[in-house]
Structure 1
Amino acid sequence: MQNFSPATPSKRGAVQPIYCLKTGWILVRDQYWLFVGMSAVAIILGSLVPFGIMFGPMMCGIYLSVFQRRRGQTVEFGALFKGFDFFGESVVATLVHYLPIVIIIIPFYIALYGGLFLIMPRQGRDPDPSTLIGFFAVLVVFGLIMMVLIILLSVIFTFSYPLIVDRKMSGIDAVKLSARGALANFWPLLGLLLLNGLIGFAGVLLCYVGIFLALPVTLAAIAVAYEQVFGLGEVPGPILPPPPPSFT
C-alpha cells in the first residue's frame, strides 16, 4: 500500500455523524459477534500494561479488521493481533496522546490537594465559608478547562490509528495528519465522538457489559469518518450506501 506524508490532502467538512454510525453498523453487522469478542479482548489486553503500550496495537488490529470488512473481506479473530505489526508506531502515537493528558491532569490534582490542605480546619476552627466557595469555584473552572483540553486532544487524535494502519505512516506523522484532518472537520467529528460517548455511556449502564456491545459500531463509525476525510486505499468497489446529499 502506498505511503503518505503529513502533506496528504484531507477533505474539509466531510464527516457526517449519523451516516458514520449507520454505515459503521452495516460494516460490522454480518460479523457483529466476532467484533464484540475482538473489542472485548482488545480493551482487556489494552488495559493490562500502563501508558497504553498494548492499547495502540489492539486498536490498530480493530481498525485493520474494519477496513477488511470495508474491502469486502471476511474477518478472522486473528486479525486483531495483526495490530502488533504496527506496534512501534502505535505506541509512539499513543504516548503522544497520553503525555499531554497527563500534563493537563497533574496541575488539576496539585490544585485540588493543595487547596484542600490550605482550607483544612486548624486549631479547632471551621473553615471560612467564603474560602470554601472560592475553592470549589476555582476547582470547577480548572475541571472545565481540563475537560475541554482533553476533548480537544481526543478529537485531534481520532484518526491516528487508522492512518497508521491504512497509510503505513509513522506514529508522529499519523498524529500530525490526524490533527489536520480532525481540525478541518472539528464540529461534526466532535458530534460523532459525543454520540459515541452517549452510546458507550448507555452501555456502561448495562453493568458495563453493554460497552462491549457498542464498541464495534462506534469504532467502525470512526473508520467510516476516516474514509470520508482521507479516503481508503485499495477499495474494490462501493459496498456501502452513498452518503446523504449535502445542501451546503
Structure 2
Amino acid sequence: MNADLSEFRRGVVAPVECIKEGWALIKDQYWLFLGISLVGILIGGAVPIVLLGPMMIGIFLCLLQRQRGEPVEFGTLFKGFDHFVQGLVVAAVKMIPIFIVLVPYYIFLFTMMATSMPRGRHPSPEDSQAFVWSFFGVEMVFFVVIMVVSMLIEIFFMFAFPLIADRKLSGLDAVKLSFRAGKANIGGIIGLILLNGLLAFVGVLCCIIGVYFYLPIAFASQVVAYRRVFPDIGQTFPSPPPPPGNWA
C-alpha cells in the first residue's frame, strides 16, 4: 500500500463537531440522502454479508462526492457494486468477531438448558426459579459481551468502507488501516458512536420512525470524522520542473 494512502491523523475526532458538520453537509439535500440511506440499508440488510458492503460503500461514495462539492445523484449509491469484492471482504471480516461470540454462547446455552431441566418429575417452584434466574444471568452477561464486541467492531471498522470508496483500497488493506486509525482516535470515535446512538434512541422514542430520519446525519457525521482522520489526497498538483543546470 502506498505510504501516502496509509497516512492518517491522530486525536482529531470531535463528536459534537462531526455531527454538526455532518448536518451542514447534507441539509441542503437532506431528502436525497435520506432516500440513499434508507434504500442502501434496506438492500444491504436483505443479505447482510453479501450486499451490505457494496451498499455502505455506495452511501459513502455519495457523501464523499457531496463533501468535495460535486453533484450527487441517487444512482451513485449503486456504484458501490463496482467494489463488490472489497465490500464483501470487509463485511465478512466484520462478522468474524460476532460469530466468535455467538457460537460459544449458543453451545453454552444449549448445554445449560440440557443439564438444568429436571427429568422424570415435575419441576418444583424452587427448581423453576433457579433455572429462570440462571437463564436471565446468562442473557445479561451475553448482552454485555455483545455490546462491548459491537462497540469494538464499530470503532475499528468505522473507516473501512469509506477507505474503499475514497482511496480505492483492497478490503483487507482497508480493514488494517481502519483498525490502526480507529485505535489512534479511539476516544473521539467512542464519543461519536455514543452520541449518535443517543440521538438515534431519541428518534426511537419519537414513534420509532424518527431513527430513520436521523440515519443520514449519522452517516454524514462518520464521513466528517473520516475526512478529519484521512485528509483528501485526491487533488494533486504537477511538480514544478527542475531548475536548469548550472552551465557556468
Residue 111 in structure 1 maps to residue 112 in structure 2: no
Tell me, in whole angstroms, the C-alpha distance in 2 between the residues paired with 1:206 and 1:45.
Answer: 24
Residue 58 in structure 1 maps to residue 55 in structure 2: yes
Could you say if the C-alpha distance between residues 5 and 93 of structure 1 is closer, same or farther in structure 2, counting changes exceeding 3 Å?
A: farther
Tell me, in whole angstroms, the C-alpha distance in 1 between the residues paired with 2:117 and 2:37.
Answer: 45
Contact 2:116 2:131 in 1 (8 A): yes
Contact 1:166 1:233 in 2 (8 A): no
Tell me, in whole angstroms, the C-alpha distance in 2 between the residues paired with 1:118 and 1:75.
Answer: 58
Tell me, in whole angstroms, the C-alpha distance in 2 between the residues paired with 1:208 and 1:102.
Answer: 29
Tell me, in whole angstroms, the C-alpha distance in 2 between the residues paired with 1:207 and 1:8.
Answer: 43
Tell me, in whole angstroms, the C-alpha distance in 1 between the residues paired with 2:163 and 2:140.
Answer: 36
Residue 80 in structure 1 maps to residue 74 in structure 2: no
Aligned to 1:68: 65
Q: Which runs of 5+ in 1 are unaligned?
A: 237-248
Aligned to 1:239: none
**CA offsets, 1:70-113, max 9 Å, x none?**
11112111111111111110111110001221221222222223
Moved more, 52-61 or 197-206: 197-206
Tell me, in whole angstroms, the C-alpha distance in 2 between the residues paired with 1:144 and 1:109.
Answer: 15
Aligned to 1:33: 31
Tell me, in whole angstroms, the C-alpha distance in 2 between the residues paired with 1:97 and 1:6.
Answer: 25
Which amino acid counterpart does residue 47 of structure 1 have in structure 2? G
Tell me, in whole angstroms, the C-alpha distance in 2 between the residues paired with 1:9 and 1:201.
Answer: 34
Q: Which runs of 5+ in 2 are unaligned?
A: 237-248
Deviation at 1:5, TM superposition (A): 5.8
Aligned to 1:10: 8
Tell me, in whole angstroms, the C-alpha distance in 2 between the residues paired with 1:22 and 1:218.
Answer: 10
Contact 2:5 2:167 in 1 (8 A): no
Contact 1:97 1:157 in 2 (8 A): yes
Deviation at 1:204, TM superposition (A): 3.0
Q: TM-score, normalised by structure 2?
A: 0.85
Aligned to 1:240: none
Aligned to 1:220: 220
Could you say if the C-alpha distance between residues 235 and 35 of structure 1 is closer, same or farther in structure 2, counting changes exceeding 3 Å?
A: farther
Q: TM-score, normalised by structure 1?
A: 0.85
Taking only the aligned residue pairs, the percentage that are identical comes to 44
SS in structure 2 at match of 1:54? helix
Residue 92 in structure 1 maps to residue 89 in structure 2: yes
Which amino acid counterpart does residue 137 of structure 2 have in structure 1? A
Larger Rg: 2
Deviation at 1:143, TM superposition (A): 3.1
